[in-house]
Amino acid sequence: MQKLLVSILLLSLGLNAYLLFDLKTNKPELKPASMNRVTLNDQNSFSQSNEVRTNNTFSSDRSDKANNSAEDTALQQQVTEAYQAPQAMSADEIFELLQILQAKKKYDDLELLLREYLKLYPSDYKAWLIEADLIFHTEPLNTAIVFYYNLLEKNLPAEEENKINSIIEVNTSKVIQQLSADRAWDLLATFIEPLLQIAPLNRDYIMGLARAYGEQQQVVLMENALAALPYDDTRAQQLRKSIYSPSAAETDDDIRSDITDTATLSKRTVTVLGSGQQFFVRTSIGRNSQLLLLDTGASTTAISRKVFANVPESDTEFIGRFSVQTAGGGIEAPLFKLNTLTLGDININNVSVIVLPDETFTGSFEGLLGMNVLRNFDFRFDPEKQKMTLFER
């Protein structure tokens, strides 16, 4: 009996020792608070994982949203702490936050934190470049280009200067080509005017601004712009000839209504709704269809933010922000290029659209169909029926 009790006691001691050893070896690791910080690598991995769209179940979608919300909450807390006490963080820590905010396009938070960072580190040229990108996405494009020009006056590494010159060249060329193709001469003139003050000998600016003035029949301003070039400059003389003596082909962009019955048989048509003073066309942009008001006085098509929100990002290209006039006055609005805009069964490619606040449009329509689209059609108006038809050119 005594031997049995000793055996049981030894077995119990052995079991306790085993459990204690297992608890120590498999103890969960307690991570320090700093391990919960959102890092740039975390952000890059997060962004890359979301580039692949999958048909997840509702439960996984809900989990993703919860994770995103938790990450955004953690990021917001870090930003608040950095803004309230930037001296308590190292320059590298704050700068990494700036990069994350820039990558996530949280421009309001970025602007506040960047302001505090530049107070502490005003000579950090990498922060200047982030500021330039912030201005590019939140202010008129010509303001951003002027800022980039000003950066070239600072002592920057040669590699950064080359990048800035490339940014200026790519964006100005893209805008001049796009707005010229749209014949949006008012927007083009407004865009180039401040740039020509910074770079008065830039031939692309001179010719772009001169043409924008000339196409609006502001020939005195056109000649003032061309005065920076020799009078016998080939491109300048060609522009003068096209403005003072336009050919039939150059005037063919005007609205035509003299379509014969024979000609209409070979043309695709677009149904126009409404009668009298206002006419509408049902268009397809992105995933949905929307009603746009025909506006022959608008050089560029405009849509609401609600409509634009349904367009896949892959189908758009951000051109820049511009100062535009609306019925409610002047505002700053982004200009995008859409891959395709569809009217009936007719696709119009590479269409510029200005995205305006939803409250800009009242009534049943959600945008304005401008001349950059309507130029592809001829018009026929039946005064008796007060009906209009569009014929593809």
CB 97 within 8 A of CB 127: no
Report the percentage of the chain scoring pLDDT > 70.
77
Beta-carbon-side half-sphere exposure of residue 89 (alpha carbons within 13 Å): 24
Beta carbons within 10 angstroms of residue 341's beta carbon: 24
User: Average pLDDT of 214-223?
Assistant: 96
- How confident is residue 86, by pLDDT bands cut at 50, 70 and 90? confident
For 43-60, how does the pLDDT look when each residue is reduced to its tens digit (9 = 90+)? 443 333 333 333 343 333
User: Average pLDDT of 193-219?
Assistant: 96
Strand partners, 10: none
Distance from CA of residue 257 to its chain's centroid? Answer: 36
For the chain, the first-to-last Cα distance in angstroms comes to 110
For 354-371, how does the pLDDT look when each residue is reduced to its tens digit (9 = 90+)? 999 998 888 789 999 999
- How confident is residue 266, by pLDDT bands cut at 50, 70 and 90? low
Between 37 and 297, whose confidence is greater?
A: 297
User: Average pLDDT of 89-114?
Assistant: 94
pLDDT number for residue 342:
92
| Residue 9 in this model has a pLDDT that exceeds 50 | no
Pure H helices in the chain:
2-25, 40-49, 58-84, 91-103, 107-120, 125-138, 141-151, 158-182, 185-198, 203-215, 219-226, 234-244, 261-264, 305-309, 371-374
Distance of alpha carbon 70 from alpha carbon 373, whole angstroms: 44
| Residue 383 in this model has a pLDDT that exceeds 60 | yes
CB 190 within 8 A of CB 322: yes
Between 189 and 2, whose confidence is greater?
A: 189
Distance of alpha carbon 338 from alpha carbon 223, whole angstroms: 34
| Residue 263 in this model has a pLDDT that exceeds 90 | no
pLDDT number for residue 58:
32
Under DSSP, is residue 228 helix (H, G, I), strand (E, B) or coil? coil
Sign (positive or negative) of CA dihedral 29, 32, 36, 41 = negative
For 152-173, how does the pLDDT look when each residue is reduced to its tens digit (9 = 90+)? 999 899 999 999 999 999 999 9
Distance of alpha carbon 41 from alpha carbon 45, whole angstroms: 6
| Residue 179 in this model has a pLDDT that exceeds 90 | yes
pLDDT number for residue 204:
96
Dihedral angle of Cα 292, 295, 301, 303, to the nearest 10 degrees: -40
| Residue 245 in this model has a pLDDT that exceeds 90 | no
Distance of alpha carbon 285 from alpha carbon 373, whole angstroms: 13
Give the residue from 77, 111, 34 showing the smallest Cα distance to 85: 77
pLDDT number for residue 126:
96
Structure tokens at 304: 């609401």
Distance of alpha carbon 237 from alpha carbon 226, whole angstroms: 10
| Residue 133 in this model has a pLDDT that exceeds 90 | yes
| Residue 39 in this model has a pLDDT that exceeds 60 | no
CB 309 within 8 A of CB 291: no
Distance of alpha carbon 176 from alpha carbon 242, whole angstroms: 18
Please work out, in degrees rounded to the nearest 5, the angle formed at the alpha carbon of residue 175 by the alpha carbons of 174 and 180. 105
pLDDT number for residue 274:
82
| Residue 63 in this model has a pLDDT that exceeds 80 | no
Give the residue from 104, 105, 102, 83 showing the smallest Cα distance to 94: 83
Between 222 and 18, whose confidence is greater?
A: 222
| Residue 276 in this model has a pLDDT that exceeds 80 | no
Q: Taking the model in full, what pTM does it have?
A: 0.74
Long-range pairs for 343-348 at CB < 8 Å and ≥24 separation? 343/270, 343/281, 343/282, 343/283, 343/284, 343/373, 343/390, 344/268, 344/269, 344/270, 344/271, 345/268, 346/268, 346/270, 346/376, 346/392, 348/373, 348/376
Please work out, in degrees rounded to the nearest 5, the angle formed at the alpha carbon of residue 252 by the alpha carbons of 247 and 254. 125
CB 304 within 8 A of CB 360: yes
**Mean of the per-residue pLDDT values of the chain:** 81
Least trusted range by pLDDT, from 1-5, 12-16, 340-344: 1-5
